[in-house]
Amino acid sequence: MRAGRRWSTVALACSALVLSGCTSAGLGDADPGADDAEPWPDRPVVDLRFEVAPDLATVAGREVVEFTPDLDTCELVFRSWPNKPATSRAGSSLTVSDVRVDGRDADFLVIAAGAPEGAPAGTLVEVPLADCVSAGQTVTAELTFDLVLGEEVNERVGTSSDAEVAWFATAFPLLAWERGRGWERGPAVPVIGETAVSEDFLLDSMEVVAPSGYEVLGTGAADGAEDQQDGTTVHRFTAPAVRDVAVAVGELDVAERTIDGVRVRVGLDQRVGEADTEAWLDQVEESNGELVDLLGPFPYDDLWVVVLSAQTSGIEFPGAIQFGDVDPDDRRGLVTHELAHMWFYGLVGNDQGEHPWLDESFATFAQTVADGDEQPFAHLAAEDSPPVGGSMAYWAAEFRRPNSAYYDTVYTLGGAALVEARQQVGEEAFDAALADYVAVNAHSIATPDDVREAFADLPEVLEVLREVGALS
């Protein structure tokens, strides 16, 4: 570590871009060649059904997943992320009531794994298999579960009686498999941030059954809606490769626009007052255009955006975003940041519990460069700062106020380091290496070793990342 190195470089780098009139070559102009990754051919095939109660307070769910592991296994492991501390303490929960494997009833074990004391269920569901499964052998699991949506939750799972809207994301038993590694069982922690890890899966069908007359925003392509005699409507969605799903149901003001070939739907609940749908679509279009110039084509054919009066910030999911009631023009950085996650965690995945910097630092980097942010951004001394590469468990264990330490380090310092590294080696060289990283690791779960490999010919980049503790 070089003595005296201080990280106040993001503002300088961005100012240079703006004042010089320079533009990045961008990943979209690069030629990744034959290394372009494709979705895992044997990725899980998932069918979901969510039946939303008339009062929008609970959801009855069913999941069928066809899973073909690439390693031998004698069990299945799912994560129930609504039971993590932030959502559970706000009144939300996910409870698995029944599991069947290959058509037969199966025993299962629910483990707290970080769920707070007194929570109705744990975050980890383990299903021992009657017969072990060899690599390449398909097993089919069916899980029945129930969701409780907490009132006015400033998180990814909740409901608002006043706004007449419900929202739920990462709200089903999420298969916790990592190719080449096996099951991920890391505990949930009391830090605001994502801790999930998931391979891409084929969303063969997602059915959302909701009271007729309500708008429904989902994930992937809308595949039609059918009214039922009981006063409900079945809304169907499909997606070729996603890691997660998000849904919003309720009295929403919805507008649609095609942006750079992507179908974008924005829905605002009836208590949202900072901006209308057109203002949101305008900012999404502006931010996305800058990101596409930097990172290449948007990874999904559809983007669903819901703006919720109960929320204050933004939470990303593959092809979907939840925003709080903010002015998108004033909070342009927030919009750009969450859109950047479509590439970093959506397209290029990572273990968000073990290596959160791989999506948050890269998303902050992309946000900063795309927005040409000239404001002072990072004034942290690397030698006095915690390591950017710390896990979520590290932030929870080491700090009395883990949320601020996590944000200042992983977002701010990590993003600043990447901008500094780009400035040191030049935009063209950095962006070409970044293009290689994205192309090679698309549709997979990246690790710090993949960053080392992508930037191996640019030792200055790796040195900067080592200085801030990203590559420890």
Residue-wise DSSP of 396-459: HHH-SSHHHHHIIIIIIIHHHHHHHHHHHH-HHHHHHHHHHHHHHHTTEEE-HHHHHHHTTT-H
Q: Global pTM? A: 0.92
Tell the CATH topology of 41-247: Immunoglobulin-like (2.60.40)
Domain with CATH 1.10.390.10 in the chain: 6-31+348-467, 251-342
pLDDT value of residue 383 = 64
Residue 316: which H helix or E strand, with range? strand 314-317
Query: Which one-letter amino acid corresponds to residue 430?
Result: F
Report whether 284 contacts 263 (CB < 8 A): no
- pLDDT of 406-441, one tens digit each? 999 999 999 999 999 999 999 999 999 999 999 999
Q: Homologous superfamily of 6-31+348-467 in CATH?
A: Neutral Protease Domain 2 (1.10.390.10)
- 355 has binding-site annotation: no
337 is in an annotated binding site: yes
Q: What distance in Å separates the CA atoms of residue 181 and residue 118, rounded to the nearest whole number?
A: 32
Question: Is 341 assigned a ligand-binding role in the annotation?
Answer: yes
CB 333 within 8 A of CB 373: yes
The candidate with the shortest Cα–Cα distance to 26, out of 357, 425, 369, is: 369
Which CATH code, of 1.25.10.10, 1.10.390.10, 2.40.160.60, 1.10.10.60, is assigned to 251-342?
1.10.390.10
Residues of the chain with CATH 2.60.40.1730: 41-247
pLDDT by 10s per residue, the chain, length 472? 333 344 444 433 333 332 223 333 344 444 433 346 899 999 999 999 999 999 999 999 999 999 999 999 999 999 999 999 999 999 999 999 999 999 999 999 999 999 999 999 999 999 999 999 999 999 999 999 999 999 999 999 999 999 999 999 999 999 999 999 999 999 999 998 889 999 999 999 999 999 999 999 999 999 999 999 999 999 999 999 999 999 999 999 999 999 999 999 999 999 999 999 999 999 999 999 999 999 999 999 999 999 999 999 999 999 999 999 999 999 999 999 999 999 999 999 999 999 999 999 999 999 999 999 734 344 445 567 899 999 999 999 999 899 999 999 999 999 999 999 999 999 999 999 999 999 999 999 999 999 999 999 999 999 999 999 999 7
